[in-house]
Structure 1
Amino acid sequence: TIAGLGKTFFEIALIPHTAERTTLGALAPGDLVNVETDVVAKYVERLVKKA
């Protein structure tokens, strides 16, 4: 879930199930990840409209 949005970044929140069963739980703040923009764009657009 997108938890925060800045001009050059976004933050996510993981449920324990996802954190335990994927490699996302091992990441530290600032780690680089590959994100498919079509999925992210949907959430970013929603957040921008609320702002």
Structure 2
Amino acid sequence: MPVDPMVLSALKLPSSDPAPGEEVVSAAELDRLRRARRSGSGWRLPEPGRGSQ
């Protein structure tokens, strides 16, 4: 059963579709997440100092 996005926001858990006006992470972090998802590494963030490899 899918979790309601409003519940995720209330619990401050990361959501694939944050409610408008509700910033779960910073814009820079969100950009890194989007890039990581596009390159197929899921939600795992690149390690600091590792570059975009």
Does TM, normalized by the shorter one, top 0.5? Answer: no
Q: Compare CA radii of gyration and give the structure with the larger one.
A: 2
Pick 1 or 2: higher relative contact order, CA cutoff 8 A, min separation 6: 1
Query: Which structure has more strand as a fraction of its residues?
Result: 1
TM class, shorter-length: 0.3 to 0.5
Query: Which structure has more helix as a fraction of its residues?
Result: 1
